[in-house]
Structure 1
């Protein structure tokens, strides 16, 4: 397996680009099933070094050397100390919001430069996306102002300052914690950042870390130390259980095979076992079903509940080991959003909370000092996951706890010949990915184009990809073969600096912001966008948007029709139901 050179599809790139689109998707999806993206192992090594040096080494050094717990190498003296837990959360928050945590580097389509994040968010006039501009005062507009830059930098500084501060003794508990005030300030600043730009809140993984900041700020004035530990356990258990419940859907089986196929160190035999019959049938095999719904969904639901309620030391240790292995498994697959720091931190938190503060030693849910507060706290934690599963249009899939569920809002961008280059007019530190590959990394243009089309094949291996390509074929007609198609998640990275696979970051709000700056002509930039499937419905809702004209079509498709089709749609587009179409918006096919 090459270390410095990538695995590449067995086809001449120039000849490849002459083939029909669905034939190209079939070739690349089949290639992906055995090689993933084909990324050189050198790239994965860079990520591993980043984890070891920056996340683990830097975080442990900062946390221990600024706390009275012993040196970085004296693990036995600090692994179960709450101040270390708090500081590692703060350090990870800093890395994520800086832009060198998740969605960093070439695996997230940051080819050159490899860092988005701060290079976008500390730059005035880049695009920002407020979550509720019509409802929250002082948040209208989509242009990043000097105030936004200062607010962002202040939030970063508050994370770092709190992580580097000394501890304060918790009365009666005999342990040190970060000063509650220093935990409250970052919490407030993060919320303010998020109200001005939802991208920043989500990039910091605020839906998971903000509750930790809040309970840390309340510990002492309101909560006891035991309350703090129990609340922290409830937070992480909710993340696991919420994710497990969200995976009880027909999409998730399609997530596991391409994820395992992209794992750089998985044997080819293991990768092939996740498909029914390569190269003709790329639907998930029984092995994939077992991995998804037994080792995945069932384990992620049952084991965390065991951790929360078990008072048996042996069972607790086994459950701790299971969840640590769970997160290490995800880490070694290098998923495209590369949430590696998050997974390693959660592995440590599992050990800290459940082995370091065993429920049988007085840290169980029944030991909460104010039982009346517990239901209110749980209800607050459940609010966005419940709402997000019922009304995914209102909540990002991250607060909905649907990170790996395969039930994603997604999109494909389609550009008329030559129109994609117009995006380079945007104020941002990076050009389009195709230009990054050609100009920044010296790729031949045909090789760069084939590389970008690998992301389309990856999307086609997931259920919503088959729906997106079906709608595009219906809408573009004969022009389907002439347009340049791009995976919106990757394009979004180059426009706003971050994306974790959440289609809400590149919906009509972003397209309208781009159009105000670039001014595409009708037919030049067409988007097909689909919402996540509500937990109580069998359909997904999509829209077609022409950047110059707005939304021109809305409709639905049955999820069952998508999950049973091959990635290359050999039977033609899956059935769709048009619920509304704008009468005065001609399709590119009609215009031609």
Structure 2
């Protein structure tokens, strides 16, 4: 791999694309195990530069300059200033809500342009997904000028709170005598809260993109709580995020997340180390004992024990050790460049660890017992754990983000299967990006390599537990599957609404219905297999088969144990599934000519690509 050239699979494109679907998945899964997505080092460099110079350095400069603090290189004079932390949160919310932090760039399916977000959300006519139908004044699935103005007003409100200087706080002065920077004016934060909620009620995509499930409580605490209570409440917030995510990793899914994540990490240069995460590379790509230990000791154990230690520790050395563990934990995630690329979020959480637990330690009057009222503690805890509890028992009701299932592998997900030529109908949908395969071609990829690059994303899906079930349903439902183009729904979603973070609720039948109003697929032209997260206490996952023209045509379940026991390419055939309901649907659209996969353009017209 060079700095500018991708690490493409060692296959002959024409021969490869004529092979059966699951044989292609086998080849690409084996390739992923050693090479990951194969992105050139240039891509990772772009992310690193953006993270360090634009996000971290830019955020520190904005926070210090607007708060009358010493220059950014005087770290010891600003790292523990409360207003710097507040502005770090506001800076992150602003960038996330614009779409230039998290789910950005080629690793998130955004090649040309690399930004989704604002290019979609500030454009009338694009798709809007309301979270609840029962909320008045939120009907429809297209963005109006009112939505655009509301969204831009929200961005302005966050920016205003960010750039204006702090105001005096009696509670801060009492707790930290001599502080002159004050706190962000609560009267400026309140409009941002209101506008983020209103925007989210009109379009859940923007709320989730702004990571409202985590930052909105923080903004609320900034606004209504006196200083000591605010710090303790912020500790409770990050504790719930950490422990909730850690608890979600119990089960059969998470061990399957670690091997493909490590394989995709540019910081792991040794192929033997990547192979060690699989039981018997290349014959058996299920997680090895190394992967299990890394998942549940380096992951689950650390993410539960270290935060609890931080929260209750009365000792400086114990606190420092736990803080170090959590900083390393988040920096490791950054180093793997996961496909949703939540890099800024992880850097903020690393800083949050240091700021909250070392800057305002328990033994200085910031322990949970120092909250002004035990009833306030109970109320905050109840509010913070409500959605994580509900979302894990009823995943159909709550996004996996408020459910705190980050990286757990237990996600709602889907694959889309287009009849020959039908994918082009997505060009009828009002949006700000083309299909990713066409983005790669415009960037300079030959059409066949563009297609193979997109097929790497569905091979990545097969390496996770739900992928084996999704492909099993595809094989059972579509006798013409070898003629179809299969796409990973998360990438498709990025091109349609400008954001996805692994949340299958963003591309369920609501999105498909909205797409259908403009794309106008015929029955059988687009078949989507969609699956919900596994609920706590359940042994199965519930799937749906959706025809874009007809709606849901089948529902059923598969056992999670069967999915995790199988290889990504299903050498033993589809896993067992149980149909609970079905609608007799028209025969899927027939192909004019059988072909394993479409060639999008004449490759003679395009040069070899440099970005994956």
Structure 1 length as normaliser, TM-score? Answer: 0.98
Partner of 1:141: 140
Any residues of structure 2 matched to 1:478-557 within 5 Å, and which?
479-557=480-558
Any residues of structure 2 matched to 1:72-111 within 5 Å, and which?
72-111=72-111
Over 3 Å counting, the alpha-carbon distance change for 1:452 and 1:590 in structure 2 is closer
Does the residue aligned with 2:168 lie in a helix, a strand or coil? strand
Partner of 1:23: 23
Question: Using the alignment, how far apart are the partners of 2:31 and 2:578 within structure 1?
Answer: 32
Does the residue aligned with 1:130 lie in a helix, a strand or coil? coil
Question: Using the alignment, how far apart are the partners of 2:591 and 2:492 within structure 1?
Answer: 27
Partner of 1:249: 251
Does the residue aligned with 2:207 lie in a helix, a strand or coil? helix
Does the residue aligned with 2:42 lie in a helix, a strand or coil? helix
Does the residue aligned with 2:396 lie in a helix, a strand or coil? coil
How far the C-alpha of 1:172 sits from its partner, in A, is 4.2
How far the C-alpha of 1:371 sits from its partner, in A, is 1.3
How far the C-alpha of 1:323 sits from its partner, in A, is 0.2
1:391 to 390, 394, 399: 394
Question: Using the alignment, how far apart are the partners of 2:187 and 2:486 within structure 1?
Answer: 49
Deviations 1:474-500 (A, max 9, x none): 0002x0111100000000000000000
Partner of 2:605: none
- 8 Å contact kept, 1:224–1:369: no
> Highest relative contact order (Cα 8 Å, sep 6+), 1 or 2?
2
- 8 Å contact kept, 2:395–2:532: yes
Superposed CA RMSD in Å reads 1.3
- 8 Å contact kept, 1:410–1:489: yes
Partner of 1:33: 33
Deviations 1:381-402 (A, max 9, x none): 0000000000000000000000
Partner of 1:476: 478
For structure 2, the 5+ residue unaligned runs are 174-178, 595-612
Partner of 1:451: 453
Does the residue aligned with 2:197 lie in a helix, a strand or coil? helix
Any residues of structure 2 matched to 1:43-122 within 5 Å, and which?
43-122=43-122
Question: Using the alignment, how far apart are the partners of 1:465 and 1:474 within structure 2?
Answer: 14
Any residues of structure 2 matched to 1:218-367 within 5 Å, and which?
218=224, 223-267=225-269, 268-367=271-370
Any residues of structure 2 matched to 1:406-417 within 5 Å, and which?
406-417=409-420
Does the residue aligned with 1:168 lie in a helix, a strand or coil? coil
Q: Does 1:190 align with 2:196?
A: yes
Question: Using the alignment, how far apart are the partners of 2:113 and 2:258 within structure 1?
Answer: 30
Partner of 1:559: 560
How far the C-alpha of 1:403 sits from its partner, in A, is 1.4
Q: Does 1:42 align with 2:39?
A: no
Deviations 1:413-432 (A, max 9, x none): 00000000000111111111
Does the residue aligned with 2:546 lie in a helix, a strand or coil? strand
Question: Using the alignment, how far apart are the partners of 2:465 and 2:314 within structure 1?
Answer: 41
Question: Using the alignment, how far apart are the partners of 1:589 and 1:390 within structure 2?
Answer: 41
For structure 1, the 5+ residue unaligned runs are none
Q: Does 1:461 align with 2:463?
A: yes
Partner of 1:426: 429
- 8 Å contact kept, 1:472–1:528: yes
How far the C-alpha of 1:588 sits from its partner, in A, is 5.3
Deviations 1:348-397 (A, max 9, x none): 01000000001011100000011111111100000000000000000000
Work out the number of aligned pairs and report it. Answer: 585
Deviations 1:114-154 (A, max 9, x none): 11000000000000000112x11100000100010011111
Over 3 Å counting, the alpha-carbon distance change for 1:382 and 1:172 in structure 2 is closer
Any residues of structure 2 matched to 1:579-590 within 5 Å, and which?
579-587=580-588
How far the C-alpha of 1:8 sits from its partner, in A, is 1.1
Question: Using the alignment, how far apart are the partners of 2:399 and 2:510 within structure 1?
Answer: 14
Question: Using the alignment, how far apart are the partners of 1:589 and 1:484 within structure 2?
Answer: 13
Question: Using the alignment, how far apart are the partners of 1:394 and 1:566 within structure 2?
Answer: 31
Question: Using the alignment, how far apart are the partners of 2:516 and 2:303 within structure 1?
Answer: 42
Any residues of structure 2 matched to 1:566-581 within 5 Å, and which?
566-581=567-582
- 8 Å contact kept, 2:103–2:342: yes
How far the C-alpha of 1:504 sits from its partner, in A, is 0.1
Q: Does 1:435 align with 2:438?
A: yes
Deviations 1:404-460 (A, max 9, x none): 10000000000000000000111111111111111x212111111101000011000
How far the C-alpha of 1:328 sits from its partner, in A, is 0.1
- 8 Å contact kept, 2:127–2:497: yes
